[in-house]
A and B are shown apart, each in its own frame.
Chain A
């Protein structure tokens, strides 16, 4: 029997621009986020391409130094604050969290909409800063450079980031309350999908870490505007304090970015292996462990910044503590595939790429946490390669995997499988070609944020730029076939992957209030292998 589109669903429940801009439906807000996040990803991607294009030659021939500095600043800000942090939580999380826990909406739909507006307002400020001449502070805003020396619109950009931060706080708040108070009957903590667990852990960081970056940037902006002397030593302040406060948020923020991605992988791998997740509780609690440990490792960004030897020792030790739960996850995903019945569809390809690339990204983190070695590779391309392996190889891959996995649920249409597989392959190859050479470059000693570099680094840079062009193709392809599928894609049906989980028990796309009948949960999550039947829904 060929699946048919449901008659009424959240997309056709109402029409017109107002029905979107004033919607309180978490699914529609997720779609709003999908478009805006994609927009900022493309902008950030253009900057990245220009950076790689510029670095083809060693003597800085394409752009002026100032322009180059603005490019990497805006690339970083766009990607970190306007793509990576909201991507999985605000798009996939917004869409899926209420459905996965079995409720009609997030706890505070108006606040959810507000959070999108705040995100857009923050984005507008950052775009305004970009259009009105750009900012060259680096996404890290280090004082006293940014507070007392630069002539660009640092305050405008900082305000943009602060506002976007509140958007992230409200998203986190909504998720936490929804998970605590809105679970369907029978949806115990032990039955929560791992995607919910990891978004919950990320939400903890959002609500506890983000206010600290807000106050830090407020102080930075005040110092820049009114010379209040908190960070600039000329005015009596301490620039290292800025770094402490900045990384107190920005290190945990790395886990805001990666944890939801891990959640996506924990959904995809069992589904395409037709197996229960291996060690459910270990995968679930490792998310919480990462969130907790993530808060006590920030100074590992500062081993050469002039902190005391002893605090460096403590922070190095704690940094290894956060590596263990990540390793536990990787092993559990691998073990889940063992003796499964594996189908290599596109989401699974992305998930496998994630596991491999995240492993490399995580292991190179061990290099950076090793004190004596970090002295050499700190602030070099080794760091760049490391966090791109985690952020692009990990998070972007997970985001794309998740988008393919839930695309039929979100739109009711299937994307075309052959170009999707091709895109996954191109992304994987392009990614490795772009970033693997940067590990070598970094160990060779090429510092980051260099507009020009010694000629002996050119070969590796050219390799990296070549890879970037392939990677760009890999990212553009999904854009095309996703758009194509909206009109021409096959009707997906409620559960094209025969997956478990409440989101697959409602229609695709789901009705405005998510379920035709409110669910009662009676089974463990990932109850694969019990025939192809799905948990009882009334």
Chain B
């Protein structure tokens, strides 16, 4: 026996398998949370591996961490927090049915996301330029396309950095530590890379949402996609909120930098 929905007019966005818009929104939001749980497990595996190696190669992780730019990282953190704000505003605008505002907030979010990715690209470029890349010294992976020959350019400047931080460190030791920083950079690229990949997917979602918002699909009765896009976007931001201190900050006090 069909329940009472037949009396109300059905919203065009109501999928056939749901009885009501409330159920649809409720189920979709719940689904997104379940998906985010999956994402947490995925990043969690990576974070666990990072922590294990951080303990194992502590000095190298300190040195590697010191070699990446806190200011760019901090700037990017601000950019992302800003984008979370615009995203939240976009959801609010959708809820209130403000069509133009949603479009502009969504575009703003995408612009901030693009700025983040741009800064990230610049940081990657710097790392490649300095040969701070995995598989350079102990492996041979990036040699051919990083332009890093076997010269110890990267080792040299990391070793220098280490000795700068702690002048009593002998040269041999500094060089050994410098080699182990490759494992730090492996994680740096793997973790920020996976995060950036999520940002790219997020940008794709946002473009689609913008088109739909422009078409006027969303309003007080139906704004679930914007809300879910927001949930995803906030999650990706939160991952960065963990990445930033783990990769950029927590070892710095060692050198008083």
Contacts and interface: CB of A to CB of B under 8 A. Distances in A.
A and B touch in the complex (CB under 8 A): yes
A21 interface: no
B23 A181 contact: yes
A508 interface: no
Interface string A159-181: 00000000001000110110011
Interface string A231-252: 0001111100100010010000
Nearest to A107: B27
A99 to B, nearest CB: 12
A392 B55 CA distance: 43
Interface residue tally of chain A, by bracket? 35 or more
A210 B40 CA distance: 12
A207 interface: yes
B164 to A, nearest CB: 24
Interface stretch (B42-50, B99-107, B233-241): B42-50
B118 interface: no
A181 B26 contact: yes
A226 B182 contact: no
Contacts of B41: 207-209, 211-212
Contacts of A180: 27, 30
B197 to A, nearest CB: 10
Contacts, number: 132
Interface stretch (A84-92, A128-136, A214-222): A214-222
Interface residue tally of chain B, by bracket? 35 or more
Given A219-B190, A229-B183, A241 B34 contact: no
A208 B34 CA distance: 9
A78 to B, nearest CB: 25
Nearest to B1: A538
B42 A227 contact: no
B42 A211 contact: yes
A73 interface: no
Contact of A212 (B45, B56, B186): B45
B47 to A, nearest CB: 10
Contacts of B182: 228-229, 235-236
Interface stretch (A3-11, A115-123, A260-268, A512-520): A512-520
A520 B1 contact: yes
8 contacts: A106-B17, A177-B30, A227-B141, A230-B53, A235-B183, A236-B138, A245-B49, A520-B1
Contact of B139 (A210, A229, A238): A229
Closest 6 CB pairs of A and B: A227-B139, A227-B135, A211-B42, A226-B141, A228-B186, A105-B17
B147 interface: no
Contacts of B31: 107-108, 173-174, 177
